[in-house]
Chains A and B, each alone.
Chain A
């Protein structure tokens, strides 16, 4: 009977969350933009008739037309096709770097928040040190020493984003560990690892999910920035940032080369930001949005 009541309660809570999320038009718009870009990334090879790497010296820097909706670049490649394939690099950079930040940052935050004392001291000082180097500067420095590539850019962004997850998880763990039910779990002899996995982590998840969405937005901009600087995805592989890097030399002659990839970055980042805001409002309606 108790199990049935608990299941009903969880289902009701989930429905309430969904209702709150669905009633937020901006959040739905954000989720739709994200779904759109994910679909483009997955379906890119089937959506475009062109090869993203195929050069054509007969169609160099052609303005948008029926054949090339977003025009062609300095090597005659279709800009729209390269943007579609570039979506893969951007989304992958966003998701992989944030996944890395979560996989490393959340356990560290749980250890610091739950055990406190020396563990907290060490983890907190390390987090402070990483946070005191601005996100992009740290990513540039790491990419510089590791060498320019998409993998290293993702690693650099992941390391730079990790302290945010440590801080959030640590704060949540500190809050939850003083709750009565955690003390009860201690009293019945549950081990620390069991308490962390069964009680602390589930309660820390909502702010982590919100932060993940907002950090993906930041990671997409960071990857585009690194690629724009020549420290991310290397040519000829398509990436929005690298496309803009080339396009800046042809601003006068071929403005479409800069306008469309930049608009794609803007839309994707806006989508994740709207989604993150919506998730925050749905998961914690008491918070005043900054």
Chain B
């Protein structure tokens, strides 16, 4: 178990190095010379040389990369060109908002996806299975931002049940905070729930064909007990793996959901930075996302091993 974890961490290191190279390389895609843009209308060669030296642009690209990585490893992700606030501080301010939204969306996805997947697999080929599949496929095909707009139109504008935008921190007013994020969490959770349902159904179908399920039924155990105790427990491994892998989708979905519901989170930060040409922030957000995704992948591997006793023994 420990050996596997160490091995996975060792494999993740070159991936993380490559990701950092890709993200560093992004700024080289920018058209034109950033220093001449910064130097203003009077292109004083001395000012240009000074700026070039200040931003280490007079060094070779490998040296620039090494300096950037060194700073990142010390927690310095650069400074926002627009607000002059360190990128690390900006991310620390916005990340809790997105994490709260993601957590609530995850609860919605679990509440929809897992029961629907279990019922659909247990009642394979029946109208319930058919309806669940139609809902799952629709959930996967519906654009998150459109679903958000439609829900705002119906729930907020027409019925006036929930707020259509904004954010209240849970430390200020917990109930209002949950109420404000309920609609966005529903939007984000529905699409994840649809995917989770398909994976749960698939994992359950695989397990329900096993000999031990037939034996459990032959012993006279009730079908719901067989499904939950023997079926779901054994299907949990792949479901948990998929759940951790859906982290990327959760973050990508959060970008759009935060945009529609005007939530000041991680997603809105990257989009606003794109329009403000605040490239240090874009790089910082992408790097943090990728690092988070790699950690989630590691966690998925470890959890999968923990949930599967046969792998644990190996």
Contacts and interface: CB of A to CB of B under 8 A. Distances in A.
Given A244-B146, A262-B146, A265-B143, A134 B252 contact: yes
A217 interface: yes
Interface stretch (B26-34, B73-81, B301-309): B26-34
A275 to B, nearest CB: 12
Given A137-B251, A259-B150, A130 B22 contact: yes
B198 A274 contact: no
A129 B26 contact: no
B22 A228 contact: no
Interface string A101-136: 000000000000000000000000110111011111
Contact of B286 (A126, A133, A255): A133
A270 B290 contact: no
A144 B283 CA distance: 10
Interface in A200-230: 217, 221, 224-225, 228-230
A34 interface: no
Nearest to B164: A251
Contacts of B256: 136, 225, 228-229
B18 interface: yes
Interface in B231-276: 248-249, 251-252, 255-256, 259-260, 270-271, 273-275
A134 B147 CA distance: 21
B153 interface: yes
A273 interface: yes
B255 to A, nearest CB: 6
B137 interface: yes
B297 interface: yes
B274 A140 contact: yes
Nearest to A133: B290
B57 interface: no
Contacts of A265: 143, 146
Interface in B270-297: 270-271, 273-275, 279, 282-283, 285-286, 289-290, 293-294, 297
Interface residues of B, number: 57
Contact of A141 (B259, B275, B286, B293): B286
Contacts of B285: 137
A141 B26 contact: yes
A270 B135 CA distance: 11
A229 B271 contact: yes
Given A270-B137, A288-B206, A290-B199, A136 B252 contact: yes
Contact of A132 (B29, B249, B290): B290
A251 B143 contact: no
B141 A217 contact: yes
A289 B202 contact: yes
Interface residues of A, number: 48
B161 interface: no
Nearest to A30: B137
A57 interface: no
A252 B157 CA distance: 7
B215 interface: no
B19 A129 contact: yes
A270 B142 CA distance: 8
A248 interface: yes
Nearest to B278: A144
A147 B32 CA distance: 12
Interface string B176-205: 000000000000000000000011011001
Contacts of A248: 149, 260
A231 B274 contact: yes
A125 B18 contact: yes
Given A137-B285, A144-B274, 17 more contacts: A128-B15, A129-B19, A132-B19, A133-B293, A140-B255, A140-B274, A141-B26, A142-B26, A145-B26, A145-B30, A225-B144, A228-B259, A230-B275, A244-B145, A244-B149, A262-B147, A269-B141
23 contacts: A126-B18, A129-B22, A130-B22, A133-B22, A133-B293, A135-B252, A138-B286, A140-B255, A141-B26, A141-B282, A143-B274, A145-B282, A224-B143, A229-B271, A231-B274, A244-B146, A248-B149, A258-B150, A261-B146, A262-B146, A265-B143, A266-B142, A270-B138
Interface of B: 14-16, 18-19, 21-23, 26-27, 29-31, 137-138, 140-147, 149-150, 152-153, 157, 198-199, 201-202, 205-206, 248-249, 251-252, 255-256, 259-260, 270-271, 273-275, 279, 282-283, 285-286, 289-290, 293-294, 297
Interface of A: 125-126, 128-130, 132-138, 140-147, 217, 221, 224-225, 228-231, 244, 247-248, 251-252, 255, 258-259, 261-262, 265-266, 269-270, 273-274, 277, 288-290
